[in-house]
Structure 1
Amino acid sequence: MNGDNKFVEGISRVSGKIGSNKFILAIRDAFADTIPITITAALFLLINNVLLIPKTGILRNMPGHQIITNVGIQAYNGTFGILALSITFLIAARLAKSYGSRDGVTEGIVALASYVSLVPNTVKVLTLSGKSYSASGVLTQDYSSASGMLVAILTGIFATMIMTRLQKAKHLKIHMPDSVPPAVGNSFSSLFPAMITITIFAAIEGILNTTTGMNVSEIIIRVLQVPLVTGFQSLPGILFYVLLSTFVFTLGIHGADVFGSIAGPILLASLQQNIDAIHAGSAAPNIVTQPFLDAFVYMGGGGTLISLVIALLIFSKRPDEKAIVKLGGVPNLFNISEPLMFGLPIVFNITYAIPFCIAPLISTVVAYAATAFGWMHATYILIPWVTPPVLSGYLATGGDIRASIVQIVIIAINVALYIPFVLVSNHQYQTKMNQEK
């Protein structure tokens, strides 16, 4: 028993250190800051790819539908289409504050400039006649959207580390008279560190392009991103990730916060590939995306917790559990699980921790198989994480009713999984009551 306690404490300590790491925190908070624009992007993706879809959308023949479509395209370009740029700035700003910066704005701007300096700005266009033209000064969504996420994250981190280190060098500071406004004085104080940082990233791009004919984005994608995306697209790979992120929940650690910073860019890149393929009239190449997990694995929150809620409502005889379900049941419909996680509790409760870890694995296998065998469409719509189950599957797959049926099947299977543990919990409660008598 003592050994078990040491094991739990060790895991908690390691996970806690990971979750409190300044780089992980900066990435996590940066993604949290983008929620308004990602949800806006999700709204317009839903409108354009569900309601206005040419063949089946219920609003496809509505007067003015083309105007709405164009508005949606522009809104997408201004939200999800610049996600990599936003993340670069936000990570740098957040990280700079942890290094002691007043507001992180200067470091964010420098990191953004470094990112744009690092990626190609020339596009080659091949005409029907076979002639090739080049357009310079162009930043495409290959680098500004989620497709460039890993490069953006690395740039945000390293540009800030370089910048903050140079800012500490006294001989690189320009000291202005006291009569100069503080904002202007701070800008001039950061002038040389900013110039050096941006030059480093521009030089990396220039040297690589000249010597290898490739840019840093292509190299990183080939070396790092593609294997990671491939790993997440395999069933063993995604099962391992789901198990790991779910297990730490039972220790009171938010798995999505700890590991989401690592998985988020990969899953968003996979989603972007699906979006691009669907828009091009091709089949979606990836099974696992962020909406895949949100819609099919995390229904009701971690542990496919909506199934436990149903099992408790039907089979629980404990008044304390009934009361918690009444309070937490409605938020749980919108995938908010904290009232149940800490109220039942799930945390450090072996009775419910076991099925809590198993249920998401079942959910992943069923949804993965349904997509792989063509029983439902792949996910390619970024849905808000608070979208209720059954509706979320329909929307995430672009209006495939079979996805909702798969969700119902997953919920039913996991209700059956949770029932024996609810009965065990009833027995434990009854035994305790008898002992107290």
Structure 2
Amino acid sequence: MNVLDSIAIKLLPIANKIGQQRHLQAVRNGLISILPLTIVGSFFTILLNLPITGYADFIAPYVTALDVPFRFTVGLMSLYAAFTIGSYLGSSYKLDKTTSGFLSMLATLLMVMPVNLVEGVDAAGNAIAGGRYIPITPLGSQGLFAAIIAALLSVEIYRFTKEKKLEIKMPEGVPPVVGESFAALLPTLFVVLLFWIPRHFFQFNLNDVLVFAISPLKTFLTGNNLFGGIITQFFICVFWALGIHGHAVLGPIIRPFWDQAILENAELFQNGMSAFDLPNIFTEQFYQWYAQMGGTGATLALVVLFMFSKSKYLKQLGKLSILPGIFNINEPVIFGTPIVMNPLLAIPFILVPIVNTILVYIVTALNLMPKMMVKPPFSIPAPFGALITSNWNIVALIMVFVCFFVSLAIYYPFFKMFEKIQVEQEKGELVTE
């Protein structure tokens, strides 16, 4: 048994427990479910910032209207996340998905303090009546962790009332929808009391407490801490090299930080902050377009090497893997080579993303290129993804190619050694035949 096999045997049970933990699964699935909203919202940020001479003046009369889709997608992402997370967690307990989602949304809204406005005008110049309004800022990226806790607690309350039969039962013959609605009355009351009283009578702000508690971890994982970026890449790649889906294991833990980081950057950029001054370097998009070009391990470079290999198998695998690799899908090369449990290729597979992370971090920290500020689909090829997410910065585009050639250089000696072994095996098979 080699070293990788031994490590995999020890880590696999732990990874499975983390990946199958119902609350972490609900968070991961819930956040993934709102991807269409955040991606579409990001496109409106791009639309407002196209690098075309005279474009800003042309759209100036429509800026307020064009900003609305962003505010009602990305700007309310915590509210949407609460619903989807609650729905997934409720489903795992075999509870009503809709009720679970609504209770989670209710809890999230109850943590928002309404503001009193006098009569005046809105941003578009329309007259507004005085009254109480819900600010959307706490429902954006800054309220994400509070929304997650609210969703998990609300569904647990719902589950508790079900298990203890604390519900109002309707007579037989009543439509199931009506019966489920009455069954949710008591859990709804409990959720209201739990989240309303502390916030509105004792001024307890759960979001502020959570922000304070997790700010060191957030800064470490997604701020400007190079060591945090290296550690993130290291563990994702190590899990993959062991045959364990790295993003499935670490995603439930790190994805909320990634989502909050890119959406915080997006909101600040939308509000007028320069992309160079944004707070978070290590967003998921940073890794996608530079550290993990072509997929985890930056395997696009390895696929290109395979295409020119002396090994018939590797050459064919390279041709089959190049198109998915361009769109950042690399399962064919990870499992087809295989890289999994392959000590020779596991070394560059882990090393390349770390080197790329360090290179691009240095360039970004020197303020030679901006931080990422929108969230396009992960499948966009790296050069285009880097341009779009960096507010059309040329240095960001150049760094994609720098990282690609650095990846080629690191993979090359390991590829040649692996190729030699593969060619000898193919010759041996021909002799045997």
Fold shared per TM-score above 0.5: yes
Question: For 2:366, which of 368, 373, 376 is the aligned residue?
Answer: 373
Aligned-partner residue type, residue 163 of structure 1: Y
CA apart distance, 1:118: 2.0
**Would you say 1:348 and 2:341 are equivalent positions?**
yes
Is the Cα–Cα contact under 8 Å of residues 121 and 136 in structure 1 kept in the other structure?
no
Change (3 A) 1:67 1:75: farther
Query: Which of these residues, 133, 154, 162, is aligned with residue 149 of structure 2?
Result: 154
Distance 1:37 1:276 in 2: 14
Report SS of the residue matched to 1:304. Answer: coil
Name the counterpart of 1:218. 208
Distance in 1 between the 2:335 and 2:65 partners?
Answer: 43
Q: 1:281: which partner in 2? A: 273
Match of 2:123? none
Q: 1:3 to 1:341 in 2, by over 3 A?
A: closer
Q: Report the equivalent of 2:185.
A: 191
Query: Residues 189 and 99 from structure 1, CA distance in 2 versus in 1: closer, same or farther, beyond 3 angstroms?
Result: same
Query: Per-residue deviation at 1:207?
Result: 4.8
Maintained 8 Å contact 2:386/2:397: yes
1:392 aligns with 2:385: yes
What's the CA shift for 1:402? 0.6
Cα gap change, 1:320 to 1:434, in 2 (>3 Å): closer
Q: Which runs of 5+ in 1 are unaligned?
A: 128-134
Q: Where does residue 45 of structure 1 map in the other structure? A: 45
* Structure 2 counterparts to residues 179-258 of structure 1, below 5 A: 179-209=173-203, 215-224=205-214, 226-232=215-221, 233=223, 234-258=225-249
Contact 2:15 2:249 in 1 (8 A): yes
Compare 200-209 and 365-374 and name the one that shifted more: 200-209
Matches within 5 A, 1:107-122: 107-122=100-115
Give the secondary structure class of the aligned counterpart of 2:392: coil
Q: Deviations over 1:139-186 (max 9, x none)?
A: 33332112211111111111111211112222x221212232110011
What is the rounded CA distance, in whole Å, between the counterparts of 2:60 and 2:82 in structure 1? 33
Aligned to 2:30: 30
* Offset, 1:38: 1.9
Give the partner amino acid of 2:412: I
Quickly say closer, same or farther: Cα 1:425–1:162, change in 2 above 3 A: same
Counterpart in the other structure of 1:299 = 293
Query: Which structure 2 residues correspond to residues 131-142 of structure 1 after superposition, within 5 A?
Result: 137-142=132-137
Contact 2:290–2:400, Cα closer than 8 Å, also in 1: yes
1:325 to 314, 318, 322: 318
Q: String of CA shifts for 1:312-338, please: whole Å, max 9, x gaps.
A: 223x22111222221221111111112
Counterpart-to-counterpart distance in 2, 1:249 and 1:4: 11
Q: Is the 1:93–1:105 contact (alpha carbons within 8 Å) kept by the matching residues of 2? A: yes
For residues 350 and 385 of structure 1, do their structure 2 counterparts lie closer, same or farther at Cα, with a shift above 3 Å needed? same
The answer for unaligned runs of 5 or more in structure 2 is 121-129
1:405 corresponds to which residue? 398
Is contact 1:299-1:335 (8 Å) kept? yes
Q: Return the offset for 1:12.
A: 1.8
* RMSD, aligned α-carbons: 2.2
The residue number in structure 1 matching 2:126 is none
Q: Percent identity?
A: 27
Return closer, same or farther for 1:370/1:227 CA change in 2, 3 Å cut-off.
same
Deviation at 1:260, TM superposition (A): 2.0
Deviates more, 1:276-285 or 1:316-325: 276-285
- Residues 363-397 of structure 1 deviation map (CA, whole Å, 9 limit, x = unaligned): 11011111001121121122221111111111111
How many Å separate the matches in 2 of 1:273 and 1:32?
17
Task: Say whether the 8 Å CA contact 1:167–1:190 is kept in structure 2.
Answer: no
TM-score by length of 1: 0.89
Contact 2:23 2:89 in 1 (8 A): yes
With 264-273 and 110-119 compared, the bigger mean Cα shift is at: 264-273
Decide whether aligned partners of structure 1 residues 430 and 152 sit closer, same or farther in structure 2, where only a CA change above 3 A counts: same
Question: Secondary structure of the equivalent of 2:298?
Answer: helix
Output the TM-score relative to the length of structure 2.
0.90
C-alpha contact (below 8 Å) 1:42/1:384 kept by paired residues: no
Q: Specify the SS of the correspondent of 1:57.
A: coil
Counterpart CA distance in 1 for 2:182 and 2:142 is 34
Q: Contact 1:117–1:202 at 8 Å: present in 2 too? A: yes
Distance 2:108 2:174 in 1: 31
1:130 corresponds in structure 2 to none
Query: What CA distance in whole angstroms lies between the structure 1 residues aligned with 2:379 and 2:4?
Result: 36
Contact 1:277 1:285 in 2 (8 A): no
The aligned residue for residue 80 of structure 1 is: 74
1:264 offset after TM fit, Å? Answer: 2.0
> Do the aligned residues in 2 keep the contact of 1:120 with 1:215 (CA within 8 Å)?
no
Q: Which moved more, 1:367-376 or 1:344-353?
A: 344-353
Say if 1:58 and 1:237 are closer, same or farther in 2 by CA, change over 3 A: same
1-structure distance, mates of 2:77, 2:32 = 12
Q: Does the Cα contact within 8 Å between 1:23 and 1:157 map onto a contact in 2?
A: yes
Corresponding residue pairs, total: 415
